Structure 1
Amino acid sequence: MAEQTQGGTLPAAGREADVRPPLTYDRIIRTAIALIEREGVAALSMRRVGGELGVAAMSLYNHVPSKEAMLDGVAEEILSGLRLDAGPQAGWRDRIRDLAHAFRRTAQEHPRSMSVVLSRSMDWTRSLPVLEQMLTIAEQAGFQGETAVRVMRTFMAYVMGTLMREASTADALWHIAQDGVRAAEMVDPAAFPHVVATARELLDPDFDADFDFGLELLITAIERLPRTAG
């Protein structure tokens, strides 16, 4: 229905254009994240995101130069959303646990978008907030320079690697569940006695407990490292 104005009748389409939020980089990235979570990263394209926003795909190029740049933006946005509960006054052990669980919580909240983070070679500048956090924790634990960097890299390798393993394990277990009888028949108990003996634990993992178990092993190993003099 048309709207009467002093200058005449304003078409409904014109009113919608007036109230539509402006197209911005942040809106594009948030829309891309929502699309990925709903349909998977394979569904992402400039055209699809433009359609979600009600604009032509060409309009997006004024803000994002390519699909690859959009994926970089998704990864950056996911990393920037890490929620840390432990403040700077907390001990380094609590802070490293907090940072690890912040990664995992984000992965659980945005599983498909976290897969973008895990699969992309990130421009190092996008990771600066996380790097700064981890290096600060390493310094608080008594490490400097090269050792601090190695502690940081080991931490990142554990967290990222564990998240990737959880995703692949969950997918593999889903396929096994679809054909459980055939999968069981393929395992020779004489050749793989330990696999058969622990089949229940292998096929029904507690990812939360596994993550905490590995994290505590890592913290214990860090505790035993010699501190940098001075």
Structure 2
Amino acid sequence: MTSEPLSRKRIVAAAIELIEREGADAVSMRRIAAELGVGVMSLYNHVPNKDALLSGVAESVLSEIEFTDDPAAHWTDRVRIQARAFRQIAHHYPRSTMLVVSRQLHSNAGLLPVERALATLRSAGFDGPEAVKMLRMFIAFIVGTLLREVGVTPSFAPMPATLRADQVDPELFPTVAELAPMLDRCDPDEEFDFGVELLVQAISVHRERAPGEPDALPGSAAPSPERLG
């Protein structure tokens, strides 16, 4: 029985499997060759170097996201759908997710979510600079959430460390002691939706502000006393 011919797709798939088992630090051209049972030099006929291989992993994972879109839906609903679609990679490929969010991809797979997000924001009436800033804001939130969920390092554990009220000095940290039971619980799905909803509502308010009304964002003029009253 003839084994499957070596190809870029097969090499990338082997890298993804290795990353999900042991993390991205385990990847090397020699290790991937061993996983596939081939000579290391044969890999270079399909992938020029490790950096290209890691980009291939990110593109492969990203290409599996289902970016469904309904142009007829309200722009806020489209933003929610797109944010949740991106997050699905953390469920299917938790460790490979970090490559997706840490590498600058210029392929079709890498540019598609950017195009969808910017087009949605522009259709809502935001100008170019606003759309770009809002996209970056969402990316920062999503990346931070994924870092916590996949536990890329101990500092970003998937769930908070066990924290009991009797472990906290209530004299020094009264608020932490009071909320310790809540700090010890985390529903990733609920908290992600909560964060997305806060961002959507914030940019909705920004979108609906009256023409000429002072912007509440940093660097803008403060509202007048009359408006505060």
Q: What TM-score do the two structures reach when normalised by structure 2?
A: 0.80
2:159 & 2:138 partners in 1: Cα distance?
26
Task: Report the alpha carbon displacement of residue 78 of structure 1 after superposing the two structures with TM.
Answer: 1.6
Q: Shift of residue 40 of structure 1?
A: 1.9
The correspondence for 1:222, drawn from 184, 197, 203, is 203
Letter in 1 for 2:169: D
Change (3 A) 1:88 1:51: farther
Give the gaps of 5 or more residues in structure 1: 1-15
User: Which letter does structure 2 place at the counterpart of 1:148?
Assistant: A
Alpha carbons 1:28, 1:49 under 8 Å: kept: yes
Q: CA deviation at 1:199?
A: 0.7
User: Which of 51, 69, 72 is the aligned partner of 1:68?
Assistant: 51
Which of the pair has more CA radius of gyration?
A: 1
Specify which of 123, 130, 147 is matched with residue 140 of structure 1: 123
Q: Distance in 2 between matches of 1:61 and 1:94?
A: 44
Q: Is the 8 A contact 1:143 1:227 kept in 2?
A: no
Q: Aligned-pair distance for 1:116?
A: 2.1
Alignment CA distance shift 1:200-1:128 (3 Å): same
Is 2:157 the counterpart of 1:170?
yes
Q: Deviations over 1:101-127 (max 9, x none)?
A: 112211111101102223x34244563
Structure 1 CA distance, aligned partners of 2:166 and 2:159?
14
8 Å Cα contact 1:82-1:106 kept in structure 2: yes
Distance change (3 Å), C-alpha of 1:159 and 1:171: closer
Pairing 1:149-164 to 2, within 5 Å after superposition: 149-164=132-147
Contact kept? 1:142, 1:227, Cα under 8 Å = no
**Corresponding position of 1:197:** 178
Give secondary structure in 2 for the equivalent of 1:112. Answer: coil
2:100 to 117, 127, 141: 117
1:212 aligns with 2:193: yes
TM-score, structure 1 as length reference = 0.79
Identity %: 45
Q: Residues 130, 85 of structure 1: CA spacing in aligned structure 2 closer, same or farther, 3 A cutoff?
A: closer
- Where is the helix percentage greater, Structure 1 or Structure 2? 1
Instruction: Please tell me whether residue 104 in structure 1 is matched to residue 87 in structure 2.
Output: yes
Contact 2:79/2:120 (<8 A) preserved: yes
Aligned residues, how many?
Answer: 205
Which 5+ residue runs of structure 2 have no aligned equivalent? 212-229
Find the aligned partners of 1:65 and 1:223 in 2 and give their Cα distance: 46
